[in-house]
Amino acid sequence: MSESPRRKIPEAALGRLPIYLRILVDLSHDKVTQVSSEQLAELAAVNAAKVRKDLSYLGTYGTRGVGYEVQFLTYQIQRELGLNQSWPVVIVGAGNLGQALANFTGISERGFHIVGVVDKDETKIGTVVGGVRVKHADELTQIVQAKHVSIGIIATPAQHAQEAADALVKAGIGSIMNFAPTVLSVPRDVNVRKVDLALELQILSYYEQCRNNGLRSVPTGNQSDSVSA
């Protein structure tokens, strides 16, 4: 299967495809069948030329004078992002954050499903979060291999994040999403994305301070998202 992705998509564009995708799904829900780059740009709060350029990395799926067919474009973006299948995901850490993630419906609605949650804390083991029973961290490798998991989420405290990463790597995982505020050290072929809540707040703090000092310098065109590189 799969006409493989024609070329590699630039990081910046890649980060916007999921946004377009979500908007398209919403539009489809509203029975909209066609959409122009202009409309899509408006909904995504970006430039229309950017939308067209981003979409052109996927192929030539628009019709001049008309726009894009919502259903078709939705399918193409999904295919490109590998969202035809539902990816099994394992969560390491069953604390507040781990539980919230496991219960987060947005994950299961958008191409992923939680197949395991592990922790080292005996009091958490056996409890059920997000529909799965929490297991001991020692069982991580077994879960990963049995369920063919390639994406792992680290939701442990910072001081345990590296060992969680090591365990995930050893279990054979290829991609890690890290919520702990730590820089992980992993083999080169393992892909890591991090989300650092405090970091984002600190950036807001900077702009708030600028504002208070009279230097009105909100980054031109607000609505930033976190970037990984």
> Is residue 191 close enough to count as binding DNA by CB under 7 A?
no
DSSP secondary structure code for residue 186 in this structure = -
Q: Minimum distance from CB of 179 to DNA (Å)?
A: 22
For residue 50, the one-letter residue type is: K
The residue range among 61-69, 78-86, 105-113, 170-178 that interacts with DNA, by the rule CB under 7 A, is: 61-69
Out of a copy of itself, DNA, none, what residue 159 binds, judged by CB under 5 to 8 A for its kind, is none
CA distances from 1 to 5, 6, 81 (A): 12, 14, 15
Closer by beta carbon to DNA, 30 or else 122: 30
Cβ pair 114, 132 in contact under 8 A: yes
The residue range among 53-61, 67-75, 119-127, 216-224 that interacts with a copy of itself, by the rule CB under 8 A, is: 216-224
Q: Minimum distance from CB of 219 to DNA (Å)?
A: 9
Scanning residues 23 to 42, which ones bind a copy of itself (CB under 8 A)?
A: 23
- State the pairing for strand pair 132-136/128-129: antiparallel
> Is residue 191 close enough to count as binding a copy of itself by CB under 8 A?
yes
Residue whose token pair is 């031109």: 220
Closer by beta carbon to a copy of itself, 60 or else 220: 220
- State the pairing for strand pair 112-119/151-154: unpaired
Residues 6+ apart with CB under 8 A from 14: none
